[in-house]
Structure formats: C-alpha cells, structure tokens
Structure 1
Amino acid sequence: MCLSIQLIITDFDMNCDDVTVEFDVFLTLENLIRVTQEGLLKKFKLTTTISTTRGSIYGI
C-alpha cells in the first residue's frame, strides 16, 4: 500500500502557557499561496460542524 503524503508546513513554534495558546506556522511562499486559495480554515481543518439529533431538558 502506497501512501502519498503532501507536506505543507515547513516548521512551527509553540509559545503556549497555562492561559494562552499561541503558535506560529511556517510555509513556503508557494504553499502559502495555495493554502490561501483553498481556504485556510478548510485546509488545516480548524472548524467543524456539530449536529445533534436528540435533546432533553432536565430540572424543569
């Protein structure tokens, strides 16, 4: 089985502490242009949709 892996990120720095989450992501200029065109949130999967089918309210 052959897996094709496409590397986009060249490097990253994490500057997190117990209160703040901060990180820097480094890309080549070519990859930055491509990721920007495809959509940053979609490409890095930074958002998602959550759906619920059932719900109950207790304590009324």
Structure 2
Amino acid sequence: METGVSSDKGIGFAVLFSVVTLFAVAVMLAVDDQLTTAIGFAAAMVAACLAVAGTHIYG
C-alpha cells in the first residue's frame, strides 16, 4: 500500500513538452533554411527527452 500524496505532474510535463516537440517539428518542416531546420530538430529532441524525463521523475 502506497502512503503519500499522488501527483499528476509527470503527465502534465509530458503533455507540455510533447506540445513543444510538435511545434518544433512544425517549424522544422515549414522552413527551408538548413540552420533553422537544425535548430528545430534540436529543440524537438530536447523537448522529447524532457517529456520522458518528467514522466520518470514525477511519475
């Protein structure tokens, strides 16, 4: 039996950073500049990692 208060922070972080990931992918696909595409890819990867990490830390 688990004692303590449960929280939905893990799900909230996952949803928040998933939306950021989708925005970064949209920027990556919409822009023709190679540097901006690379920045969008990097932002998508960081946001996806933070979504998983938030789920593991608070879940």
Report the TM range for the smaller structure's normalisation: under 0.3
Structure having the higher Rg: 1
**TM-score (norm. length: structure 1):** 0.24
- The structure with the largest strand share of the pair is 1
**TM-score (norm. length: structure 2):** 0.24
- The structure with the largest helix share of the pair is 2
